[in-house]
Amino acid sequence: MVGRSMPTFVRTTIKPAMAVDAWCRHYGQLEILFVEVEHFEEFMIVITTYILKNNKAGMVMRVSLGAFLSMSDGATGIFVIMNYFKNTELVGQAQLLLIMVSLSMFLQIVSVMVNYARKS
């Protein structure tokens, strides 16, 4: 039960050491292994690294969730700006929001172009 739960912790974290730490904190009975068995934590980090590299479902879930959140963030930004423009009292705030979003997108595009210009 305890050992089979490790992939769940790996799917919910980015780094193997974080997964091992969360796993240890969730199962208090593991504390004695981490304290008394020499190099047990390093051994578990090696195992979680292997699980993380070979777990395609977890990677797909993280990428899909990240893409969904990114797209929904943009959609809500557009929705808010459109509603601000409809209200005559909030046109100034709508323009400021539009400038902030546009500036952020511009800086991100420039950053990507600079990073990829260095690559072969």
The 10s digit of each residue's pLDDT in 59-68 is: 777 788 888 9
The values of phi and psi at residue 82, to 5°, are -65, -40
Residue 5 CA to residue 60 CA, distance in Å, equals 19
Give me the helix-helix angle, 16-26 and 40-54, nearest 10°.
Answer: 120
8-37 pLDDT, tens digit per residue, is: 788 778 788 888 898 888 888 888 888 888
Residue-wise over 17-50: b if at least 16 C-beta within 10 A, else e?
A: eebbbbbbeebeebeeeeeeeeebbeebbeebbe
Tell me the percentage of the chain whose pLDDT exceeds 90.
Answer: 33
